[in-house]
Structure 1
Amino acid sequence: MVEGRRGRRPAGQDTREPVLAAAREEFRERGYEAASVRSVARRAGVDPGTVRHWFGDKTHLFTASLGLADVDPAAIVRAAADGPVEGLGARLVRAVVDLWDADYGDTVRLVIPAVMADPGLRALLPQFLGAELLGPLVRRLDVDDAPLRTSLVASQMAGVLMTRYLVPIEPLCSQPPARIAALVGPTVQRYLTGDLPPA
């Protein structure tokens, strides 16, 4: 059987799934920061415009490759950053919980176990969160120890997602989003802007 000639796929051919497959491979091999729309397009054998047609930019391409096509990290950053710095922690918690509550946590319960079971995707997730969600917020604050603060916030938010959706712990898991934000927000705020113990 003669292997077909490599090259760009014919116009009009359904390329969404092949692009997603190429994106997963590219992100796994090169990491989130090093991968690009162009490198994914080359791997998929399509024009970069085709990738942008389906997914827009690298951020949305990555979330789609995780099964999170409707997640917009920039919208979470905007929601959290819109207001006084003193309320940033609570707004961030509220934005994240509101996002995952939209389908009663079904997406979290489906996606997070799949990501955790795949070593490649598991390694990519912190890169993505740092580059697109927590990193931009911490950089806006211009604080010391930004990488440490970012990882502390991530640990807190991971705990909220775990105990609200994956391993529900009452009464926390049944609290409304505003209450979760009021309870957890001050801790996130301290991680973002408060004094941290010396090393």
Structure 2
Amino acid sequence: MSDATEATPRRRRGRPRAGARSGASGKAAIIRAATQEFADRGYEAASLRAIARRAGVDSALVHHYFENKADLFTATLGAPLRPDRAITAILAGPRDEVGTSIVRYLLTQLEDQKAQARVVAILRTAVGSGPGSRMLKEFLVREVFQRLAAASSSDDADLRANLAAAQLVGVLLTRFVLRLEPIASTPTEELVRRVGPVIQWHLFGSGEPPRPLDATVHRSE
């Protein structure tokens, strides 16, 4: 899946007030303040208004540069991917392709070495125990997992979303952080074929988990 999967951000709202810091210095001040605010308060409790106060700028300047809190948060991380936007676009597509679309999006985006290196660093932070771990988990729960749960709309929707997330994180850690073979060198489409249906089953399925589409062929060879 290409970058087109991610929803295009809307035009920025707001204009800087007269006398307010603007340009690169104003944007940099907002990102520095946001980094501190997210570290101190976590993703859930932090607000754009509080970040503006900390940066010493008007709230309109924050909205001028950043569409919403998720937009600003990912800027503080230098995140090469926007899973929140991708999930929105994927869930707007065919329901029976959600699992494979998620897996394909993640793996194809991380074929880029720079993106891969940054995501590995973010993953290492996420599995730690510091403030960075807390705010990353809150971001993922709020902007990704809850949307997956809402799409499932079943009695155990939260569990389904968490099981899907556990599968995805396991694949990313194994492939890009631990670099365990053979998963580290398995072609992307092979992983999509094998993992995508499992993600789909966690989110929407019932009964026994699916097998790869050509599992019978592989066993008979």
TM range (shorter): 0.7 to 0.9
User: Equivalent of 2:171, from 142, 160, 177?
Assistant: 160
Query: TM-score under structure 2 normalisation?
Result: 0.74
Tell me the SS of whatever aligns to 2:39: helix
Aligned: 1:127 with 2:138: yes
Write out the 4+ residue segments of structure 1 that deviate beyond 3 Å after TM superposition.
114-118
Take 1:29 and 1:147, find their aligned partners in 2: how far apart are those partners? 27
| Distance in 2, Cα, partners of 1:96 & 1:31 | 25
Q: Does 1:98 align with 2:84?
A: no
1:116 shift after superposition = 4.4
**Alpha-carbon distance change, 112 to 77 in structure 1, aligned in 2, over 3 angstroms:** same
Shift of 1:162: 0.8
TM-score normalised by the chain length of structure 1: 0.81
* Paired residue total: 189
**Residue aligned with 2:78, SS:** coil
In structure 1, distance between residues paired with 2:154 and 2:92:
18
Query: 2:21 touches 2:57 (CA, 8 Å); kept in 1?
Result: no
User: Secondary structure of the residue that 2:113 maps to in structure 1?
Assistant: coil
Q: Which stretches in structure 1 are left out of the alignment for 5+ residues?
A: 1-7
CA drift of 1:194 comes to: 2.6
Query: In the TM superposition, what whole-angstrom CA distance separates every residue of 1:86-126 from its partner, at most 9, and x where no partner exists?
Result: 32111111112222223362222333334545611101222
Note the C-alpha offset of 1:79. 4.3
Aligned partner of residue 33 in structure 1, secondary structure: helix
Q: How far apart are 1:146 and its partner, in Å?
A: 2.1
- Name whichever of 140-149 and 157-166 sits farther off: 140-149
- Determine what percentage of the aligned residue pairs are the same residue: 34
Q: Aligned in 2, Cα 1:12/1:85: closer, same or farther, shift over 3 Å?
A: closer
TM-aligned CA deviation for residue 169 of structure 1: 1.5
Partner of 1:64: 75
Counterpart pick for 1:73 among 77, 83, 90: 83
Cα RMSD (Å)? 2.6
1:185 matches 2:196: yes
- Alpha-carbon distance change, 162 to 80 in structure 1, aligned in 2, over 3 angstroms: same
Would you say 1:169 and 2:189 are equivalent positions?
A: no
Q: Distance in 2 between matches of 1:196 and 1:23?
A: 45
Range with greater deviation from structure 2 (176-185 or 75-84): 75-84
